Chain A
Amino acid sequence: MLTRYFALHVQNLLGAVGRLTRQPFATLLTVLVIAIALALPGGLRVLVSNAEALSGSWESAADFSVYLETTVTEERARALAAKIESREDVAAVVLITSSQALEEFRQHSGFGAALDALGENPLPHTLVVRPADATGEVEALAAALREEEDVALVQLDTEWVARLRGILSLAGRLVDIASALLGLAVVVVIGNTIRLEIQNRRDEIEVTKLVGGSDGFIRRPFLYLGLCYGLCGGIGAALLITGTLALLGGPVRALAALYGSDYALVGLGGVEAAALLGGGAFLGWAGAGLATARHLRAIEPK
């Protein structure tokens, strides 16, 4: 009984595949529409997760810079660095002496001649402090450092990272909304395709009802047809995203190289690809389910 049940389902699945291949051009167009509708949210999601990966690699941005008074000597700066480093909530401290800072500034800013004209070094010693817990409360640590008598200014570099993360979570939310709307579009597209298919097979449905076909029996081929459309659309979407990423990969690497980074795009992972295929198949099944629930009942033998 169970094997017969499965045999019937396999038969329905093969029947649906057969139906799709019988009209390759019409099938291709429908699948392409579904693929694009699925690829848009899928692709955006990949982009957002790429941006998240990128911002994640900027853990060092949680560091803060502690500028000392210009009057502080290098020995006192070293002592303070050692003192701060011994704190429990500090992971590491790097001392950038005023002369190191000047050298760096001279190299990168292009103001070398102007600096020479100043005669003396206007830059203070700087401590770059890395908190033990980059994501946690760093404000208390910053406040404690401000209390030190040699400290002129404590500058938190985390604000723009927080802003970027805010933007990314907003983008993520927008992608969620776009996913929901485009998912609905897929349901509608497949539902409409199935509705046309039902109309084309009106006679067949009527005859099947006359010889005792149950609603479930008549529905099943259409559900499998919807499933196949959705699955093919999911495969198409995965190919579109992978292709787009392949096209973007080269320029992105070149751009990253300009920033001195070896960053490369994160592609469509196995889980995401499976979600795309499974989601497509589910939406197809749902669209077909809605269409059959609405239109099959209306066809009764006369």
Chain B
Amino acid sequence: MIRFEGVFKRYPNGREALSGVSFALEQGELAFLTGPSGAGKSTLLKLIALIERPTRGTVLVRNLNTARVPRRKIPAFRQRLGIVFQDHKLLHDRTVFDNVALPLVIAGFSHRDIGRRVRAALDQVGLLGREQHAPITLSTGEQQRVGIARAIVARPEVVIADEPTGNLDPELSLEVMQLFVRFNEVGVTVLIATHDHELIGQVPHHRRLILADGQIMADRAAAAALA
């Protein structure tokens, strides 16, 4: 589903964020991407979302070489990808419903389908009934769940999350992680970047990619994590 082949990323300021990263994530897998801050986790996710392009190497998403996606095709590419951000990136002048509905409006769904899917997504993150609230009136954990609902509402095959629990206390973090686990159980491929080792320990049985200095230092398969 996601495949990196010898990927380098050097920013214009000369900093090399990724130095030869190779790994593959199969369909239906859930993996954590960990490592100290500055290790290149965010850069790796940005390459998947085509927010950045690799300096060298190949990034394949859904068996599509991202180098072959021209600028004008990026929107269609992102529509089939769910992205969760540490800072939620919600629109504060719109209701919870409108925030979650945005990807569907973009994709041109009918009014009725939008209503149905938005309620289903909010139900999955436990926020049904809060559609007409303003995001600002929700707690941080709830806002993050709105962000997650928005990421999954268009039913993407791949969901990536960048420090989704960065601003949450341990209890809320675990709830959020369990949400991702549930999506994964219905077949969604999930890649979560986080530096929270304690949290990963609470949801074992999943693969861990450990990134340091722009390279994969360890790739602990699900079985190894069990042991």
B111 within 8 A of A: yes
Expressed in whole angstroms, the Cα–Cα distance for A134 and B163 within the complex equals 87
Expressed in whole angstroms, the Cα–Cα distance for A7 and B111 within the complex equals 9
Q: Which of A210, A215, A302 makes the CB contact (< 8 A) with B83?
A: A210
Whether A208 pairs with B106 at a CB distance below 8 angstroms is yes
Interface string of B26-64 (1 = CB under 8 A from A): 000000000000000000000001010000000000000
Whether B110 pairs with A212 at a CB distance below 8 angstroms is no
B102 within 8 A of A: yes
Q: Which of A8, A207, A213, A215 makes the CB contact (< 8 A) with B72?
A: A215
Whether A213 pairs with B75 at a CB distance below 8 angstroms is yes
Interface core residue of B78, B81, B110, B150 (most chain A CB under 10 Å): B78
A203 within 8 A of B: yes
Chain A residues in 8 Å Cβ range of B12: none
- Residues of A in contact, count (CB < 8 Å): 19
Chain A residues in 8 Å Cβ range of B75: 209, 212-215, 217
Q: Which of B51, B78, B150 makes the CB contact (< 8 A) with A302?
A: B51
Expressed in whole angstroms, the Cα–Cα distance for A217 and B150 within the complex equals 18
B103 within 8 A of A: yes
Q: Which residue of A lies closest to B108 (CB)?
A: A4
A301 within 8 A of B: yes
Q: Which of B51, B72, B103, B110 makes the CB contact (< 8 A) with A211?
A: B103
Query: A31 CB to closest chain B CB, in angstroms?
Result: 22
B91 within 8 A of A: yes
A204 within 8 A of B: yes
Expressed in whole angstroms, the Cα–Cα distance for A128 and B111 within the complex equals 78
Q: Which residue of A lies closest to B50 (CB)?
A: A301
Whether B91 pairs with A211 at a CB distance below 8 angstroms is no
The A170-215 residues at the B interface (CB cut-off 8 A) are: 203-204, 206-215
Q: Which residue of B lies closest to A206 (CB)?
A: B89
Query: B142 CB to closest chain A CB, in angstroms?
Result: 18
Chain A residues in 8 Å Cβ range of B83: 210-211
Q: What is the interface of chain B, defined by CB distance below 8 A to chain A?
A: 49, 51, 72, 75-81, 83, 85, 89-91, 93, 102-103, 106-108, 110-111, 150
Selected A-B contacts with CB under 8 Å, 5 pairs: A207-B102, A210-B49, A212-B75, A212-B77, A214-B106
